[in-house]
Amino acid sequence: MNLTQTFNTSNPIIGVVHLLPLPTSARWGGSLKAVIERAEQEATALAAGGVDGIIVENFFDAPFAKDTVDPAVVSAMTLIVDRIMNLVVVPVGINLLRNDATSALAIASCVNAQFIRVNVLTGVTIADQGQIEGRAHHLMRYRKELGADVAILADVLVKHARPLGMPDLATAVEETIERGLADAVIISGWATGHPPSFEDLEIACAAANGTPVFIGSGANWENISKLMKVADGAIVASSLKRNGKISEPIDPLRVAQFVEISRQVAAAKQNL
């Protein structure tokens, strides 16, 4: 994956739009209009703050379906992502939780979104949804069948889960790239809002051997200067929200401050 070609920078910051509960989810509020308006506000705030990309997640649909979401969720996500892409000029991606990568890819193909995030591309993971199996074989063939130019950003040892068999991080990264054919990999802490360790990022970057490595959780003002010394980019949500709380809306000022710090780190890396 050529990050500069996709995001117009070699060290992209991707902001997250956490959608309010969608139709058929346990906390669905009954108004898709309200969901769309909140999503548009957050996407606009992220773009105004200077992020290099935006990823849209059905974050508040928890508890999540394990593999395949309801068709109403796919329909709503398609509509919302299309609306966001008409509002912003930065690349837009999709994460369809918990692991419906096939539907995410289908949506991206239809609306010309540039990338998707896949929580479990290869291997077997035990999560609160039960046992989740990677389906790289099916997903990559489906992408070929669709003729979709959509990048696959894949989590390695994904958060809120434990791998079956406990592979070491370097091996997991290598297999996700070489056998799963991921275009980039994502390294997170153990849960939302918790960062990966600097050492894990070093291991992952060495094993990735040039394939982009993203920080997938927990990046903030205090740690981004250190973590971005090894990582290629970051996917950021909690620290960009009002008071740093996951349930609050995006704060454009916090976005701008975070992006500015990240760009300073990126510039320093390029000057080394």
Average confidence (pLDDT) per 10 residues, the chain, 272 residues:
94 97 97 98 96 98 96 98 98 98 98 97 91 96 97 91 81 96 94 89 97 96 93 95 91 95 88 71
Tokens (6 digits) for 145: 């069948």
- Report DSSP letters for 134-160, one per residue: --HHHHHHHHHHHT---EEEEESS-SS
- What backbone phi and psi angles, to 5 degrees, belong to 154? -115, 130
- In terms of C-beta distances under 8 Å and separation of at least 24 residues, what long-range contacts does 171-175 make, across chains too? 171/207, 172/123, 173/203, 173/204, 173/207, 173/208, 173/213, 174/207, 175/122, 175/123
Task: Tell me the C-alpha to C-alpha distance, in Å, between residue 140 and each of 26, 155, 263.
Answer: 31, 16, 33
Q: What is the DSSP letter of 60?
A: G
pLDDT score at 272: 65
pLDDT score at 165: 76
* Residue 184 CB contacts under 8 Å (≥ 6 apart), including other chains: 1, 3, 151, 152, 153, 154, 211, 212, 213, 214, 232
pLDDT score at 166: 62
What domain range is 250 assigned to? 3-271
CATH of the domain at 169: 3.20.20.70
Q: Calculate the CA 48 to chain-centre distance.
A: 19
What is the CB-side half-sphere exposure of residue 104 using CA atoms within 13 A? Answer: 30
**What does DSSP say about strands 13-18 and 151-155: parallel, antiparallel, or unpaired?**
unpaired
Please name every residue paired with 233 in a beta bridge, in sequence order, or none if there are none: 214
As a whole number of angstroms, the distance between CA 175 and CA 190 comes to 20
- What backbone phi and psi angles, to 5 degrees, belong to 184? -160, 160
As a whole number of angstroms, the distance between CA 183 and CA 117 comes to 10
As a whole number of angstroms, the distance between CA 212 and CA 165 comes to 25
pLDDT score at 252: 93
Counted domains in the chain? 1
Beta strands in the chain (DSSP E): 13-18, 53-57, 92-95, 115-118, 124-127, 130-133, 151-155, 161-163, 184-187, 213-215, 233-236
